[in-house]
Each structure stands twice: as C-alpha cells, then as structure tokens.
A = this chain, B = another copy of it.
Amino acid sequence: MSDKLLHDYNLGEQMNIPVLIKNVVTRTAKTGKQYLAIDFEDKSGEMEGMYWGVTPEEIEIFVIGTVVQLHATKQMYQGTPQLKIANIKLATGKVDLKPSDFITSAPVQRQRMEEEINQVLFSITNPEWNRIVRHLLRKHHDAFYTFPAAKKNHHAYTGGLAYHTLSIVHLAQKIGPLYPQINQGLLLAGAILHDIGKTLELSGPVGTTYTVAGNLLGHIAISDAEIVLAVQDLHLDPNDENIILLRHVILAHHGLLEYGSSIRPAILEAEVLHQLDELDASIEMFTHVAEQTEPGKFSERVYALDKRMIYHPKSLD
C-alpha cells in the first residue's frame, strides 16, 4: 500500500489508497441512471469524484463516515481536481483504520491551543467574565477543541473552531495595546465566546452538518442562551451591567442585522470584535483562493467574496 495521499498525486496518475467518505449524495443522471457524488478525504485534504454505475447495495454501504479503498485517476474539471473512479470497495481488511485517521486538522496541535487559551484567561481580570468563560469552556470542552468552525470553506477541519477563535484572540492581543480605550478583558472574553454556540449548531468533527437547532436558532442565539444559562448556574446577577455588555458583544458580533446580528454594535469592544472576525475571515478566504490560482492569473468569481475575481500576483511570491 502506497504512503502517498490524495493531494500527492499528479494529474493523470492512478491511485489505490484508503480514504474517508466525507460527504455523499445519490443522484440520477438525465439518462435515468443513478450515481454517487462523493467527497473523499484524507490528511492531505478533500477531493470529489462521481461513482457511476453504482448498485443499490453500494448506495446503502457507502455512507458518510465510511473508510473505503479508492481506485481512481486524478483529473481536472472546471479548474478543480476531480477523481475519475475506477472502483471503490470497503476497506474491510484494514481493521485498524478509523475515520479520525483521515480527517484534516488545524495547523496547531490541540494541546498547544488549550494551553494558549488557558493562558489568555489570566488577562480577563473581571471575575464575572472570567467565570463565565471558564464555565462554558469546561461545559463544551471537547466540542470546542475538536469541532470545525464551519461545514465547509473556512476553518472546515478538526479543531477549526478553536483555531479560528485563537486567531481572533491573537488579533485582539496585538491591537488592544494600540488603543488603550479598549477594555481588553471584555474583548478577549467576547473573542473566546463569540462562536461557542457552534458546538451546538454543528453536528461534530466528522461528516459535519447543521443540526436542527443550528438551522432554526442560529449560533448567535445559541451562544447567547449558553451565557444566560451560565449566569444562572453561577448564581451571578443577570442585571449586572457587565453581564449585559458581554451578551451584547456576542449578540452584535456579526455587525449588521442583515448578517444575523440581532442588534448592531453599540460599544467599542463589540465593534472591534466584529471587525476582527471579518478581517480574519477575509484573510482566510483571500489566501485560500490565491493559493488555488496560478501566479499572474485571476480566479473565477468567488461567491463568498461578493463575486470578486482574486488576483495571484506573480511578483510577490
């Protein structure tokens, strides 16, 4: 068995390797035949392929989260790598292969992220905020360090939620000292908790989907509810201004009502948290798109960037 991974193969090269089915949809072609559209995944990333001539039995076997032996050739389809599948079979003989062996992870180790977050807690000197943050990190401990930050696109890997949270924390630590009028404790508490509701909005690190609660409530309302319950559990005063400020920072962090905030930022820390969240997301997306674009060329129009075409400068590499 080869040690090469999905993205190590060249165009036109054949592979025969174990991979994870990250997502799969059964479709019917116009001609009436069924096929599977599968997203395969291993530690090197994801790649899509169509599995033609699938049998009804295979449709029942090849579900999300299954490890399979993939025999295929790598090709290009509309500017994206795609697999031409020769065949797929269950990787049954290889009992030691667990789905978690195949999923990509944050570029930083979980242990180091935990240490960093724990370190940040000391900068939140206000006792209410500090207790609430500790309480919720404890309550959602495993999910917080293993969930992705989104179903796909940005930070869509194991540990992505904690990694994205840490990016915002780092920005806050750098920018706070330039503007002494910013309350650093509130900004950091808000940064750590702003996406805490994603631990309930998403289904988990493998085969991630939105939960019913995620779709019907949204992670902002879920995050707010978590704080409200924490306040009750910790016997804090829900009418204390500090509690209201922390809830405001979370409720307002999407900035505009159109983006799902139920209220617009009315204090400095809420505005700054919102802008740092946006800055980190933009940098992620620009970087991702530029990497997939040849130097000296423009990308296709990127929907998530308002349909802009991104340029990969050849002179900056």
Instruction: Name A residues whose Cβ lies closer than 8 Å to a Cβ of B.
Output: 27-32, 50, 52, 73, 75-78, 82, 84, 167, 170-171, 174-175, 178-179, 181-183, 186, 212-213, 215-218, 220-221, 224-225, 228-229, 232, 239-242, 244-245, 247-248, 251, 257-268, 271-272, 275-276, 278-279, 282-283, 286-287, 290, 296, 298, 306, 308-311, 313-316
Contacts and interface: CB of A to CB of B under 8 A. Distances in A.
* Residue of A84, A179, A298 most packed against chain B (CB within 10 A): A179
B279 A275 contact: yes
Given A76-B28, A212-B311, A283 B179 contact: yes
B315 A241 contact: yes
A133 to B, nearest CB: 17
A314 B267 CA distance: 12
Given A171-B175, A268-B290, A248 B217 contact: yes
B241 A212 contact: yes
Closest 4 CB pairs of A and B: A32-B84, A216-B248, A174-B174, A262-B262
Contact of A263 (B170, B216, B244): B216
A216 B239 contact: no
A167 B314 CA distance: 29
A162 B83 CA distance: 48
A257 to B, nearest CB: 5
B264 A308 contact: yes
11 contacts: A28-B76, A28-B78, A28-B82, A32-B84, A171-B175, A216-B245, A216-B266, A228-B228, A241-B314, A267-B313, A272-B283
A216 B239 CA distance: 12
A29 B178 CA distance: 41
A271 B262 contact: no
Contacts of A178: 167, 170-171, 174
A267 B305 CA distance: 12
Contact of A262 (B28, B52, B260): B260
A275 B282 contact: yes
* Residue of A30, A186, A259, A310 most packed against chain B (CB within 10 A): A30
A282 B271 contact: yes
Contacts of A248: 216-217
Contact of A212 (B179, B232, B244): B244
Contact of A217 (B32, B225, B247, B315): B247
* Residue of A251, A286, A287 most packed against chain B (CB within 10 A): A286
A185 B259 CA distance: 31
Nearest to A286: B268
Given A30-B50, A248-B217, A272-B283, A260 B260 contact: no
Nearest to A242: B315
